[in-house]
Amino acid sequence: MDQLACRRCHVSAGRGNRLAVSLDSSAARKTAGELVSSIKHPVANMPNFGLAEEQITTLVNSILAGAQGRKTPVTAPVQVHFNTSGKKSVDIFSMKCGSCHRILSERSGALGTGDIGPNLSGILSENYPKTFRNSEVWNRANLKLWLKNPREIRPWARMQPVTLTEKELIELDSIITISSDPNM
Ligand code: HEC
Ligand code: HEC
């Protein structure tokens, strides 16, 4: 669960981002077989981790153990709304990042359609993998440096620099920020 950073989208054992359904409540509603199947055949906005059967079993056991004795959260479990209107999104993420990335945004729902780059859900939160230079966390300053020139951070990066105006950066920020985050 920690290695794969499931908590960048889900709460499990009471901890994690609330961008997708809480796995503590899923454990109460679903059978183990259904949980396995959701990991094996994920929805479009959950990454496909391509896991072996036994890894999935370990994960489901950890979901069930984490949910033990927990009351199903009383607050609404899912904050993200999905855009089903069929209208094309014109937000900055969809325009500048969405061809290669996806994100679950608290404010704007599921954005992006690309799977070339990693799913960026929860990027500024402590639950996102620490994959910036030297295993540092991603924060606003780091993200800005990355966008300016990914190859300066990772010499082998495939992503090209993306130039954003200050105004666009502020809009991007409001899309990727999670309200429960400390203050990154
Ligand atoms: C980028 C976000 C994201 C990540 C990371 C992620 N998931 Fe999900 N997951 C989702 C979404 C979206 C759904 C569909 C349900 C929803 O809309 O909340 C989902 C559904 C599930 C379900 C089915 C829940 C139910 O009640 O039907 C399980 C089980 C699950 N995920 C497990 C995991 C595990 C285990 C990991 C880590 C290996 C993981 N997820 C990582 C986004 C994510
Ligand atoms: C043309 C495709 C493309 C576009 C557009 C793009 N990226 Fe990327 N991005 C990638 C790829 C591919 C990677 C994987 C790392 C690499 O090889 O560069 C990546 C990696 C990243 C990472 C590193 C994540 C990690 O965990 O390692 C961040 C952060 C990121 N992109 C943010 C953005 C943002 C924000 C935008 C829009 C402003 C954006 N990207 C636009 C292709 C793209």
Full pLDDT tens readout for the chain, 184 residues: 999 999 999 999 999 999 999 999 999 999 999 999 999 999 999 999 999 999 999 999 999 999 998 876 555 544 555 555 566 668 999 999 999 999 999 999 999 999 999 999 999 999 999 999 989 999 999 999 999 999 999 999 999 999 999 999 999 999 999 987 654 4
Within a 10 A sphere around the Cβ of 182, how many other Cβ atoms? 6
Q: What is the pLDDT of residue 184?
A: 42
Cα of 166 vs centre of ligand 1, distance in Å, is 33
Q: 124 lies in which domain range? A: 92-176
**Residue 78 falls inside a structural domain:** no
Nearest-CA residue for atom 2 of ligand 2: 100
Token digits of residue 55: 């890894």
Burial 77-106 (b: 16+ CB within 10 A, else e): bebbeeeeeeeebebbbbebbbebbbbbbb
pTM equals 0.91
Q: How far is the CA of 135 from the centre of ligand 2 (A)?
A: 17
Please give the number of the atom of ligand 2 that sits closest to the Cα of 92.
Answer: 38
Q: Whose CA is nearest to atom 36 of ligand 1?
A: 6
Q: What is the pLDDT of residues 79-106, one digit of tens each?
A: 555 555 566 668 999 999 999 999 999 9
Query: Has residue 82 been placed in a domain?
Result: no
Contact (Cβ atoms closer than 8 angstroms) between residue 58 and residue 86 = no
Same domain, 171 and 108: yes
Who lines ligand 2 at CB under 6 A? 96-97, 99-101, 116-118, 120, 123, 129, 131, 138, 143, 146-147, 150, 157-159, 162
User: Is residue 63 domain-shared with residue 96, that is, in the same domain?
Assistant: no
Does any domain span residue 72?
A: no
Q: Judge whether 110 and 82 are in contact, CB under 8 Å.
A: yes
Our count of domains for the chain comes to 2
The verdict on 97 and 168 lying in the same domain is yes
Q: Provide the CATH number for the domain around residue 39.
A: 1.10.760.10
